[in-house]
Amino acid sequence: MIISIVGPTGVGKTKLSVELAKKYNAIVVNNDAMQVYKDMNIGTAKPTPKEMENVSHYLFDFIDVKTNYTVYDYQKDAREILEKNKDKNIVFVGGTGLYLRAALFDYRFNEESESKDYSNYSNDQLYNMVLKKDKNTKIHKNNRQRLIRFLNKSNIDIVEPKKLYDAIFIGLTTDRDNLYKRIDNRVDEMIKEGLVEEVKTLYDKDINSKALKTAIGYKELYKYFDGEITLDEAIDLIKKNSRHYAKRQYTWFNNQMDVKWFNTNYDDFEKTILEVEEYIKTQTN
């Protein structure tokens, strides 16, 4: 049995994954694009050894932060784990939907182009590359982020819109106001736990990898250390970007996967666990 726990940042996925893993004697596999990296702990909300509760976890904290680890790389690693653990229950957990799709669906990648780093290309160059792939593109040439996203996405060949592995997709959610409040509070807690110091250690090593340029919590603090913004502005920007990312996650999962959503009961999380377990029973009987 494969269970996939999805949803926006800060909604309770880690706790649910461990509880279900204990219930079904399962292993846990990460599908968060930033939790694969070493030395990016606080800002990625990577589960601590205590939170893992002696459950076997895979694809966490194993890639050097200087390395450009792609969705193509993740697909190979996740598929290897799936094949080696055919006789076990597996719980996928994380908020990077494309990683999960790459692992479980019939996606094929162009290895060379998927690993491409577009950071040294001008907007005009990126735009011309997009035009070669889609002459009718509506992406503005100054929208660098969307141009790069399109180029990366266009390197994916979806052979068939079907799953290669049967999986039960569980989504955790909460109302928007509560989610945003939890995100803001979590950012404040990260700062107290030493996020600034964690990022400063990486900054002082002059590491400017793709992961640090894109990860929320790291890219904003790099701007602070570069003197572009104040610390308060960086923290506010982390909160803002986290909220926007959560919104994009909802949109992606609702459009791309058949997810059964559950409202997280933060006052009594055990009730949420029981609701999810009851649903899993209906899917496995």
Do residues 147 and 163 share a domain?
Answer: no
* Polymer length in residues for the chain: 285
Over the stretch 69-80, which tens digit does the pLDDT of each residue have?
A: 999 999 999 999
Do residues 7 and 132 share a domain?
Answer: no
Q: What is the mean pLDDT of residues 50-54?
A: 95
Do residues 126 and 188 share a domain?
Answer: no
| Total number of domains constituting the chain | 2
3-class secondary-structure state, position 3 = strand
Q: Which residues contact 165 (CB under 8 A, 6 or more apart)?
A: 2, 82, 103, 104
The whole-model pTM stands at 0.83
Per-residue pLDDT, 54: 95
Do residues 95 and 57 share a domain?
Answer: yes
Q: Residue-wise over 191-204: b if at least 16 C-beta within 10 A, else e?
A: beeebbebbeebbe
Per-residue pLDDT, 120: 77
Q: Alpha carbon of 10 to those of 98, 108, 137, 161, 283: distances in Å?
A: 19, 31, 35, 29, 26
Tokens at residue 236, please? 């506010």
Residue 254 in this model has a pLDDT that exceeds 60? yes
Do residues 65 and 180 share a domain?
Answer: yes
Closest to 11 (Cα-Cα) out of 32, 36, 37: 32
pLDDT band at 113 (very low <50, low <70, confident <90, very high): very low
Closest to 250 (Cα-Cα) out of 154, 168, 146, 172: 172
Do residues 198 and 265 share a domain?
Answer: yes
Domain that holds residue 64: 2-116+155-284
Do residues 141 and 260 share a domain?
Answer: no
